[in-house]
């Protein structure tokens, strides 16, 4: 692949670059962003100066400077002028918690949407499917500011058509709407999206209890976030999948994905083998909880996420508060290139912040 073609993300296959090519492309993008944010975000420049990092020229992915995710709650980290802020995203959390604020200009918002669609359509195919959203339709009303849930719904809505909201505002199933959708699309591919806990509690469980099973056998379900509540109920990923297929149909495709409001657009989707994958446009590193040294494959540590998308705020390299483990690279049985990993939960003693906690 020539340098000119690699400079254009659209020309790169979503999961198509092997390790050396990918790291060369992504490292160039990340160094460019580090320099950009140093020049346009003074708190970020101060952070790097405090770490003795002045150049914005890391020689490897693990040397790209990172920002701790919680700093987005403490500082206004923006690399765009206030007049250029098109949308402000807020992390989910209870009303007592301080929330992250992510400032998007039009270009960054547009790039996030385009990359997300490119990434997820590699699973759904190019055709837009009728879409059932396991939420209520008041969620995305405020165009200037979005919660993590609202941003997630809006981001995925580009993949679908005939957007149908399955829930009432009090989170009860809207049965007339659900029944109409099921009757209309019983024999064609559909897309379902919702946050994990909400899909389980407010859609799948009521569906089974009401006797409405096996009516969407060609569905593809994307779900994300909110695993802690399910684990508290002893619901594993396998149990979740088995139960969803009992409710919707045995051949239903189910893909969990890992992502966060601080880096919307860069999501890590679960493949058919049950592994979360880093696409060409993003990557993950695992760091030791104590020393922050990069961990080897199989070792548990904090997840660091890297992305070429964030231009309006310094979110291209974030150290999360989530624990995970790298499982391999370029050798998953699903055939996709890149690193694949698992998320093991949140670092103990940090405030819990999950997308499904908002209501």
Domains defined for the chain, CATH in brackets = 3-67+275-351 (2.30.38.10), 112-258 (3.40.50)
Residue 5: predicted pLDDT:
38
Per residue in 133-188, pLDDT tens? 999 887 665 554 556 677 677 777 888 899 999 999 999 999 999 999 999 999 89
Give the helix/strand (H/E) hosting 14. Answer: none
Q: How many CB atoms lie within 10 A of CB 201?
A: 18
Task: Read off the pLDDT of each residue in 220-238 and give the average, rounded to a whole number.
Answer: 81
For the whole model, what pTM was predicted?
A: 0.88
For Cα atoms 21, 66, 48, give the angle at the middle one, nearest 5 degrees.
115
Res. 284: pLDDT tops 90: yes
Q: Which tokens in the block code for residue 32? A: 């460019």
Task: Read off the pLDDT of each residue in 62-90 and give the average, rounded to a whole number.
Answer: 92
Average pLDDT taken over every residue of the chain: 87
pLDDT-based confidence at residue 261 (cuts at 50, 70, 90): confident
Bridging pattern class, strands 145-147 and 129-133: unpaired
Bridging pattern class, strands 268-270 and 190-195: unpaired
pLDDT-based confidence at residue 56 (cuts at 50, 70, 90): low
Weakest mean pLDDT among 94-103, 172-181, 287-296: 94-103
Residue 140: predicted pLDDT:
61
Residue 92: predicted pLDDT:
63
- The percentage of residues in the chain with a pLDDT greater than 70, rounded to a whole number, is 89
Residue 141: predicted pLDDT:
57
Residue 356: predicted pLDDT:
42
Reduced to 3 states, what is the DSSP secondary structure of residue 245? helix
Residues in the chain: 359
Task: Read off the pLDDT of each residue in 277-306 and give the average, rounded to a whole number.
Answer: 96
pLDDT-based confidence at residue 235 (cuts at 50, 70, 90): confident
Res. 295: pLDDT tops 60: yes
Res. 245: pLDDT tops 90: yes
- CB-CB contact of 234 with 191 (8 Å): no
Task: Read off the pLDDT of each residue in 106-131 and give the average, rounded to a whole number.
Answer: 92
Task: Read off the pLDDT of each residue in 196-210 and give the average, rounded to a whole number.
Answer: 93
Res. 350: pLDDT tops 80: no
Reduced to 3 states, what is the DSSP secondary structure of residue 322? strand
Weakest mean pLDDT among 106-110, 181-185, 203-207, 348-352: 348-352
Res. 77: pLDDT tops 90: yes
Task: Read off the pLDDT of each residue in 108-119 and give the average, rounded to a whole number.
Answer: 90
Q: How many CB atoms lie within 10 A of CB 76?
A: 12
Residue 147: predicted pLDDT:
64
Q: Which has more confidence, 284 or 89?
A: 284
What sections of 234-337 are H helices per DSSP?
237-248
Residue 354: predicted pLDDT:
43
Per-residue CA distances from 52 to 45, 48, 70, 146, 319 (Å): 10, 6, 21, 35, 18
Res. 106: pLDDT tops 80: yes
Weakest mean pLDDT among 144-148, 314-318, 352-356: 352-356
Per-residue CA distances from 197 to 107, 113, 225, 230, 346 (Å): 32, 24, 8, 6, 16
């Amino acid at each position: 692949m020539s340098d000119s073609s690699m400079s254009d993300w659209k020309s790169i296959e979503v999961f198509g670059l092997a390790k050396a090519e990918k790291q060369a492309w992504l490292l160039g993008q990340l160094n460019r962003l580090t320099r950009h944010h140093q020049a346009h975000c003074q708190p970020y420049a101060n952070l790097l100066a405090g770490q003795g990092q002045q150049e914005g020229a890391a020689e490897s992915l693990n040397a790209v400077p990172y920002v701790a995710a919680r700093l987005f709650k403490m500082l206004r980290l923006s690399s765009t002028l206030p007049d250029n802020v098109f949308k402000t995203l807020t992390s989910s959390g209870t009303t007592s918690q301080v929330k992250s604020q992510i400032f998007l200009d039009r270009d960054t918002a547009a790039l996030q949407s385009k990359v997300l669609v490119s990434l997820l359509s590699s699973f759904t195919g190019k055709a837009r499917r009728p879409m059932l959203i396991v939420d209520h339709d008041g969620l995305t009303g405020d165009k200037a500011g979005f919660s993590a849930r609202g941003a997630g719904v809006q981001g995925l809505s580009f993949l679908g058509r005939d957007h149908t909201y399955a829930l009432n505002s009090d989170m009860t199933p809207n049965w007339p709407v659900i029944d109409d959708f099921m009757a209309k699309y019983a024999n064609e591919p559909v897309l379902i999206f919702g946050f994990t806990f909400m899909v389980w509690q407010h859609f799948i469980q009521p569906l089974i209890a009401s006797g409405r099973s096996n009516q969407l056998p060609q569905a593809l379900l994307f779900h994300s976030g909110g695993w802690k509540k399910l684990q508290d109920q002893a619901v594993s990923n396998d149990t979740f999948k088995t139960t969803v297929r009992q409710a919707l149909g045995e051949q239903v495709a189910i893909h969990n994905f890992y992502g966060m409001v601080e880096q919307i657009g860069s999501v890590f989707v679960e493949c058919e083998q049950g592994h979360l994958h880093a696409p060409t446009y993003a990557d993950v590193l695992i760091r030791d909880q104590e020393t922050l040294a990069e961990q080897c494959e199989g070792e548990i540590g904090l997840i660091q996420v890297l992305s070429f998308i964030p231009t309006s705020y310094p979110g291209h390299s974030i150290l999360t508060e989530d624990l995970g483990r790298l499982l391999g690279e370029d050798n998953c049985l699903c055939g996709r290139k890149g690193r694949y990993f698992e998320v093991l939960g949140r670092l103990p003693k940090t405030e819990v912040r999950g997308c499904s906690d908002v209501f």
